[in-house]
Homo-oligomer: A and B are copies of this chain.
Amino acid sequence: MVTQIRPTSLASEAFDRVVAAITSGEFEPGEKLSEADLARRLNVSRGPVREALQRLEGRLVSRVPHIGVRVIQFGKEELKELFYLREAMEGMAARLAATNGSDRWLKSLEELLEKHRSAIRSGGGRIYRQKSADEDFHFAIANASGCRNIKRLLLGEVYYQLRIHRLRSSSQPGRAEAALQDHREILQQLKNRDPEGAEAAMRRHIQAARESAIAALESAAATRELAEVN
């Protein structure tokens, strides 16, 4: 079978590389990114790099005229705001998915949760796996909402930023199990075809995730302070 020739460009390539570098921690939050330097490293001219950085503006980097771009800082306030936005958008996504999701899709979602369950069982301490699993679940719902707007913003704005945060603070103990339970509850409401209930369940889940994330952030800050004293 012939596979499609994907029309790519240096700019998209550069975009992917920079995103990967930031979300994998290669660049620190607050670090300045030089167009010229990036262009040299990627072995392209400044044009495509410039385009890549422009696309990231407001998402992963902030840009100041005549000075350049920096990787965004991600403090407690920013984290809170990110979760407020998530709660709003994903709540609506769940509401819409309760109506628009097909029976076949519901089945596949159930199978996804089953996979997560056994992954947690066997994985034990390896919470990391759950992080991308969590993302899978939420992505599936954004997808099924049928609302391209919401899907685009969740993928292009929210999840990128979330990955930055996850990179630097580990989950609270027991969070994976709690999240799975929340996911089950959401699935149940979706199966009931109850938009109201699905939105409510999703919002409770994200509120809980927010509390957990903030607690994790604060405990990480406390640990760092302790380390500085010693």
Per the bound structure, the CA–CA distance linking A50 and B50 in Å amounts to 11
Of A36-44, A84-92, A101-109, the one contacting chain B is A84-92
CB distance from A46 to the nearest CB of B (A): 11
A39 smallest CB distance to B (angstroms): 15
- A84 and B149 contact, CB distance less than 8 A: yes
Interface residue from B55, B65, B91 paired with A54 (Cβ < 8 Å): B55
**Interface SS, A side:** helix
Whether B58 and A9, one on each chain, are in contact in the complex, defined by CB atoms closer than 8 angstroms, is no
A147 in contact (CB, < 8 A): yes
Which chain B residue shows the least CB distance to A145?
Answer: B84
Min C-beta distance of A145 to chain B, whole Å: 8
Contact in complex: B153, A153 (CB < 8 Å): yes
A81 sits at the interface (CB 8 A): yes
Task: Give Cα distance in the complex from A4 to B200, angstroms.
Answer: 45
Q: Taking A54-B54, A55-B54, A153-B157 as contacts, is the C-beta distance between A89 and B85 under 8 angstroms? A: yes
Tier of interface size on chain A: 20 to 34
Q: Does A216 contact B (CB under 8 A)?
A: no
Is A176's CB within 8 Å of the partner chain B? no
Q: Is the CB of B84 within 8 A of A92?
A: yes
**Cα(A16)–Cα(B66), bound, Å:** 19
C-alpha gap A123/B89 in the complex (Å): 37
Q: Is A150 an interface residue (CB 8 A)?
A: yes
Q: A126 near B: Cβ within 8 Å?
A: no
Please report the C-alpha to C-alpha distance between residue A7 and residue B88 in the assembled complex, in whole angstroms. 34
List the B side residues contacting A152 at CB < 8 Å: 58
Which residues between 93 and 132 of chain A lie within 8 Å of chain B, taking CB atoms?
96
Residues in B with CB closer than 8 Å to A85 are 89, 92, 147, 149-150, 153
Q: CB within 8 Å of B: which residues of A?
A: 7-9, 50-51, 54-55, 57-58, 65-66, 81-82, 84-85, 87-89, 91-92, 96, 147-150, 152-153, 156-157
20 contacts between A and B (CB under 8 A): A7-B66, A50-B51, A51-B51, A54-B54, A54-B55, A55-B57, A58-B152, A81-B147, A81-B149, A84-B96, A84-B147, A84-B150, A85-B89, A85-B92, A85-B149, A87-B92, A88-B88, A88-B92, A89-B89, A153-B153
